[in-house]
């Protein structure tokens, strides 16, 4: 039986005390306007997990915006992420647990409402990403189920009669796509304010404050209604939020979720995997840094080589990265001892050796510390004067970012012509997207194209993920080259 301290009720204004049953009776459709909050008990773990998995999908949608993906490409990437993190199957999928899927979708949405209602900027970005997710699901939905869902909503549209259609036939024809027939098309009347996108694109006839919407464009009404409803709901949630300040369990989770969205939420990449299957030695680090390290780790390496020293947080960030990359404890001690060549053995043994062993879980409480993700690097231990740790895309000045990129990656194919695009994403605070674009440019020789990301279109969310994928691509290229060199040509 669960401890009451681990359970949380998501309250609503006038439905307190009711316990909602999550079933296909409550969720008859895959599509959801989230009119009613989920009620009942939920563990803290489920509270966070439901939200985090949904956040992974929304973060990839926002990444697609920044990377200027066409809608069809965005839809493909989003659909893959939904299948992985947030599956929603049709009512005909009797062998699947639809109850659990739709409950997770419902709970995750409302938890993120709590996380994203606290500033206008967060609300705007959340509404845009959620509306896009709704559109992708709408387009992917079964035609019959989609029609049933639309009929279940009170959209207050009125079917245009044949007489009225004939009255405005020529004007309707002017808004009709080439090849379409006014006679066979169905039209609906709605207030023009509910379809501003269609009005802007001149896809509807306007008469007496009403828009005449063809059936093929009826989805715009649903999208606009979803966006309007969610915007209002977030504003109401923000006004009712002060009660959360008293719950010390929930507030840190919500803070982490909103910060994760801004930083690029981590994927499920395992921080304990080297991605290469082999250990590395102290002698290998220089070459690996030049060929495979992201800017944050390359910057730490260059500073270490130049100054023969790194401050505490720099050593911690770089040391854990190297550990996960495959540097054993023995090789780590060798690497750091050689790097700190301007200090005596006694000083090194007293002040540094213990901390190195501690990070490997060999001293103190013997915890096996993971390497820091992009989110942790961006949001914790902000660098001060003389520090080298952190994320250069966020913590460097624009001029210093560009100088560092050209200095460290020119030999990998990056040129000054690439900088405006990269710096534009930095200016928009999309640091993980900037890092991903640098990865694409510097790995073009291995067949990586714009939009590929580190694989499958995914963005960089962990420095070790960047390095591991870079080494994988290099290894694959070496294997292909070796096969080519081994070809035997038969001569007459």
Q: Return the axis-axis angle of helices 120-140 and 98-116, rounded to nearest 10°.
A: 160
Element (H, E) at 7: strand 7-9
Residue 40 contacts residue 19 (beta carbons within 8 Å): yes
Instruction: Please choose, from the candidates 487, 445, 491, the residue with its C-alpha nearest in 3D space to the C-alpha of residue 470.
Output: 445
Burial (0-12, 13-18, 19+ Cβ within 10 Å), 173: middle
Could you give the CA distance from residue 427 to residue 202 in angstroms, rounded to a whole number?
Answer: 34
What is the b/e burial string over 9-41, where b = at least 16 CB atoms within 10 angstroms of the residue's CB? Answer: ebeeeeeeeeebebeeeebebbbbbbeebbbee
Q: Write down the number of H helices and E strands in the chain.
A: 22, 6
Does 50 carry a binding-site annotation?
no
Cα angle 399, 465, 84 (rounded to 5 degrees) comes to 120
Does 117 carry a binding-site annotation?
no
Does 391 carry a binding-site annotation?
yes
Residue 432 contacts residue 263 (beta carbons within 8 Å): yes
Does 296 carry a binding-site annotation?
yes
Cα angle 124, 129, 130 (rounded to 5 degrees) comes to 100
Element (H, E) at 359: helix 354-359
Return the CA Rg of the chain.
27
- Where is the binding site, in residues? 296, 374, 391, 435
Residues annotated within a binding site for [4Fe-4S] cluster: 296, 374, 391, 435
């Amino acid at each position: 039986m669960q401890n009451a301290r681990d359970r949380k009720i998501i309250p609503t204004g006038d439905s307190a005390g009711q316990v909602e049953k999550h079933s296909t009776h409550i969720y008859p459709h895959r599509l959801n306007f989230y009119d009613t909050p989920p009620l009942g008990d939920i563990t803290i773990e489920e509270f966070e997990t439901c939200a985090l998995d949904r956040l992974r999908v929304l973060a990839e949608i926002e990444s697609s915006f920044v990377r200027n993906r066409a809608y069809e490409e965005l839809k493909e990437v989003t659909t893959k992420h939904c299948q992985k993190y947030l599956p929603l199957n049709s009512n005909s999928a009797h062998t699947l647990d639809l109850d659990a899927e739709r409950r997770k979708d419902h709970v995750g949405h409302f938890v993120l409402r709590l996380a994203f209602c606290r500033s206008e900027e967060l609300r705007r970005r959340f509404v845009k990403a959620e509306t896009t997710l709704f559109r992708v699901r709408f387009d992917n939905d079964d035609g019959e189920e989609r029609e049933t869902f639309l009929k279940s909503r009170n959209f207050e549209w009125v079917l245009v009669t044949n007489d009225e259609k004939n009255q405005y036939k020529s004007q309707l024809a002017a808004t009709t796509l080439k090849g379409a027939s006014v006679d066979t098309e169905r039209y609906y009347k709605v207030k023009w304010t509910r379809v501003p996108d269609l009005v802007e694109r001149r896809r509807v006839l306007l008469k007496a404050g009403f828009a005449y919407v063809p059936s093929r464009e009826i989805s715009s009404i649903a999208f606009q209604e979803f966006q309007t409803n969610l915007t209002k709901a977030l504003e109401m949630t923000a006004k009712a939020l002060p009660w959360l300040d008293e719950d010390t369990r929930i507030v840190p989770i919500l803070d982490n979720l909103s910060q994760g969205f801004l930083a690029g939420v981590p994927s499920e990449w395992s921080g304990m995997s080297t991605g290469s299957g082999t250990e590395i030695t102290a002698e290998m680090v220089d070459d690996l840094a030049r060929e495979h390290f992201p800017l944050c780790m390359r910057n730490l390496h260059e500073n270490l080589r130049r100054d023969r020293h790194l401050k505490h947080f720099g050593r911690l960030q770089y040391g854990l990265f190297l550990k996960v990359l495959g540097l054993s404890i023995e090789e780590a001690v060798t690497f750091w001892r050689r790097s700190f060549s301007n200090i005596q053995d006694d000083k090194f043994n007293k002040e540094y050796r213990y901390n190195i062993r501690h990070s490997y879980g060999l001293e103190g409480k013997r915890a096996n510390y993971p390497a820091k993700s992009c989110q942790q690097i961006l949001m914790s231990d902000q660098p001060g004067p003389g520090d080298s740790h952190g994320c250069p895309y966020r913590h460097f000045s624009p001029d210093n970012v560009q100088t560092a990129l050209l200095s460290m990656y020119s030999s990998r194919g990056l040129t000054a012509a690439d900088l405006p695009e990269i710096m534009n994403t930095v200016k928009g605070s999309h640091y993980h997207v900037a890092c991903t674009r640098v990865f694409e440019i510097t790995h073009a020789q291995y067949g990586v194209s714009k939009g590929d990301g580190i694989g499958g279109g995914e963005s960089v969310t962990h420095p070790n993920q960047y390095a591991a994928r870079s080494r994988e691509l290099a290894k694959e290229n070496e294997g292909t080259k070796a096969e080519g060199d081994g070809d035997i040509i038969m001569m007459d």
